[in-house]
Amino acid sequence: MKIDYALAHPDDGLKSVYLKNITYCKQDDLLIWNGCFFLQYDHKQIECSTEFQNSFYTKDKRFIFLAKDSSLSNLGPDNMLSDATCLTTHNIDSIVSYYRLSMAILKNYNKEYVLPGYSGEKDIFLGYNFVFPHSAEIHTPIMIGNNCRLQKNTLVGPNSIIGNNVIVDENSYVKDSIIYDYTYIGRDLDLDRKIVYKGNLINADNGEVIHIKDKVLVAKVDSGITVSLFNRTIQYLLALLLILLQLIPWLLLFLPYRMFMRKLDCERLINKHLKTCKFSNPDIMAKSWWGRFLLRLSLDKFEMIFVTIYKKRIYLVGNRLLTNTVKHRKIILDLPVYNPGAFSLAESVKADESNAELFYELEYINWISAHHNVKILFRCLSRRMIYGYTTAERTGRRKNATI
């Protein structure tokens, strides 16, 4: 919708706003939306109905269509839509009315609209990268967004709407509820006729709002949940140890190599604001035998580890430090959090498919812990030492180079 210009005051009525702005819109057809409401319609019936060929308005005058060269003052009873028409308005003036409307669309009218997600079965709409174990259950009608995860023994539905980047922990039950984006639902919880929004638990029957301060129960998915103080301390100590171990080899072996190599750096994305930082490009290093030897010693990681300690812009172990490509920028924006690290889960396993990149980042976010990070670190170092620069690191970047 393009808004060129408007003259209005908060206390102006519909007629006053129309008269003030008639100069800007009298040459074209005009739609007037009066108030906050949802417009329900059947586009197939509208296309073949004669009621919608001229100016018309709904009974409550919330939705008005003025044909070209027509005016608000010319509307009469003949222009009012009948009660049997396929176009009606639903007022949204409270949390309760919003909840009832959302449930009605999900249960009764989901085939009339293009709802988000893939619909392979009746009354079920699933986004991409939805992961759940065999012990979890979903019951229709249900809508689940992108990058969602259900833990074991969870039950979601019927009549539930789950936003993007939502985690429902073990043994929890969600029924007749709406959960907004970037939400964590703790374990052993029963949500029935509730709306969860930014740590607020809202009763769908009366609109009563309760702010949940205990992040073990309900919380917003952000870096405060995924990276604890203990975890950061362990990473800092390990980074110091690696700096001490790699300093002499880096000075004797890597630094001379870097002095003779040109255009060795590539841009990496270091946060969700898509800021970049340049680091050594292992793809270029892998083209020579000397570069491959340095990669086995993980000396290309020295600069990243140094940044981890002194600038604290990245972590020692975290999400994969993605290159600055269109595909990777989209992946970062889709993730609930992005805490990049010098070492990552995707590098520690044989992940040859670039399409699985987002899966490994979500897997890391879900299982992040100090113990998990230590295992990832030693797996990455051992894989580099034994197999060299291979698997996910090399294959994924080759595919992304075509973007």
Each domain of the chain, given as residue ranges in start order, spans 14-92, 96-221, 227-400
Gap between the Cα atoms of 348 and 367, Å rounded: 15
Q: Of residues 94 and 24, which shows the higher confidence score?
A: 94
Residue 395, pLDDT score = 43
Closest CA to 268 of 255, 279, 258: 279
Q: What is the mean pLDDT of residues 287-314?
A: 88
Q: Is 153 exposed, middle or buried (0-12, 13-18, 19+ CB in 10 A)?
A: middle
Distance of CA 163 to the CA centre of its chain: 9
Span 191-215, average pLDDT? 89
The H or E element that residue 211 is part of is strand 209-211
Tally the C-alpha atoms within 13 A of residue 383's C-alpha that lie toward its C-beta. Answer: 20
pLDDT of the residue at 173 = 95
381 versus 32: the higher-pLDDT residue is 381
pLDDT band at residue 399 using 50, 70 and 90 as cut-offs: very low
- CATH T-level fold of 96-221: UDP N-Acetylglucosamine Acyltransferase; domain 1 (2.160.10)
Helix axes 357-367, 326-334, angle to 10 degrees: 30
Please tell me the predicted confidence (pLDDT) of residue 265.
87
pLDDT at 228: 61
| Integer Cα distance of 173 and 235 in angstroms | 35
Please state, in angstroms and rounded to a whole number, the distance separating the CA atoms of residues 383 and 105: 51
Most confident by average pLDDT, 109-113, 246-250, 271-275, 389-393: 246-250
Higher-confidence residue: 309 or 24? 309
> In the prediction, which pLDDT does 390 show?
64
Q: Rounded to two decimals, what is the model's pTM?
A: 0.56
pLDDT at 400: 40
pLDDT band of residue 205 (cuts 50, 70, 90) is very high
Residues 2-21, mean pLDDT to the nearest whole number: 72
Beta strands in 122-169 (DSSP E): 124-126, 137-138, 142-144, 149-150, 155-156, 160-162, 166-168
Q: How much is the CA Rg of the chain, to the nearest whole Å? A: 28
pLDDT of residue 402: 32
